[in-house]
């Protein structure tokens, strides 16, 4: 039982190290949404066909679309909510 628990924790740590946006149980809703939006934006920037599609749809240059997506990655869901300190 303890070996299984150790293996599961090791695998989970490996996944979190490899895929940084996966989150954990301590993440709140806004952090999870921020990770999802950043993953989507980085996917659009990283795949030329998606960037071309958006550029054509918005009637913009591909470089401009990639620049705007990169800028939106800083705060994709707006500023983080305030944390209540008790």
Q: How far is it, in rounded angstroms, from Cα 39 to Cα 85?
A: 30
**pLDDT tens-digit readout, 23-72:** 666 677 788 888 889 989 999 999 999 999 999 999 999 999 999 999 99
Q: How far is it, in rounded angstroms, from Cα 30 to Cα 81?
A: 8
> pTM for the full model?
0.67
Q: How far is it, in rounded angstroms, from Cα 76 to Cα 18?
A: 22
Burial grade of 2 (CB within 10 A; 0-12, 13-18, 19 or more):
exposed
Confidence (pLDDT) at 44: 93
Q: Which token pair is 86?
A: 């008790």
Decide if 16 contacts 22 (C-beta within 8 A): yes
Which sequence spans correspond to the domains of the chain? 29-73
């Amino acid at each position: 039982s303890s070996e299984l628990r150790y293996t599961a924790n090791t695998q989970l740590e490996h996944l979190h190290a490899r895929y940084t946006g996966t989150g954990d149980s301590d993440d709140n809703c806004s952090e999870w949404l921020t990770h999802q939006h950043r993953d989507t934006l980085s996917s659009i920037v990283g795949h030329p066909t998606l960037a071309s599609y958006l550029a054509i749809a918005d009637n913009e240059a591909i470089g401009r679309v990639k620049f705007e997506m990169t800028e939106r990655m800083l705060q994709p869901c707006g500023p983080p909510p305030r944390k209540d300190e008790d």
